[in-house]
Amino acid sequence: MAHYFEIKKNKAGEFVAYFKYNSETIFWTEGYTSKASAKNAIESIKTNGPGADTREAE
């Protein structure tokens, strides 16, 4: 699969969920104190993301 989520620790020691496509980072979450919180963020994106509107800034 060309796209995937990856959880890594940042320099501050927080867990960050990265969304990657062909190994390139497309976006990432804020830092979390636990890996479980980063996994919850991924699940929220998967659940709520498909129905999200696309908006253009004016």
Look at residue 1 and tell me whether its pLDDT is greater than 90: no
46 to each of 19, 27, 41, how far by Cα in Å?
Answer: 11, 14, 9
Tokens 């867990």 belong to: 15
Residues 58, 50: Cα–Cα separation, whole Å: 23
* Predicted pLDDT at 50: 86
Q: Looking at this protein, which amino acid is placed at residue 57?
A: A
**Which architecture does CATH list for 3-48?**
2-Layer Sandwich (3.30)
At residue 51 the predicted structure's pLDDT band, cuts being 50, 70 and 90, is confident
pTM of the model: 0.84
Among 42, 36, 46, CA closest to 14: 36
Domain edges within the chain: 3-48
* Predicted pLDDT at 28: 96
Beta bridge partners of 21: 3, 24
In tens, the pLDDT along 10-34 reads 999 999 999 999 999 999 999 999 9
